[in-house]
Amino acid sequence: RRQVVMMSSRMGSMGENAVGGEVAYRSSKAALNAVTKSLSIDLAPRVITVVAVHPGWVQTDMGGPAAALTPAQSVAGLAEVVLGLGPASNGGFLNHDGTPIAW
């Protein structure tokens, strides 16, 4: 497989930011998303698929115990997403369940 998968966050989406806050975290993920998009264009001639993925709201130190997903659920979903990637996925921003996220 010729893939680059970036671990991003829905919080890096400008299209889905309706509440503001967490400026430093959002900015770092938005920057990663910009790198992902640019690399997807630069590496397309070499047939390398580049995507960003969102792991979901996960029960970690950051997500807290009330988060919707266990780490195992998040990883299982991300594994399915990665296994399903192909050239048509290039430049995408995908949720842990494979649904697209607005940049």
Q: Which residues are catalytic?
A: 25, 29
Q: Are 100 and 61 in contact (CB under 8 A)?
A: no
Coil, strand, or helix at residue 66?
coil
- Least Cα distance to 29 among 48, 53, 50, 49 occurs for 53
DSSP class of 15: T
Q: How many CB atoms lie within 10 A of CB 19?
A: 7
Q: Are 91 and 37 in contact (CB under 8 A)?
A: yes
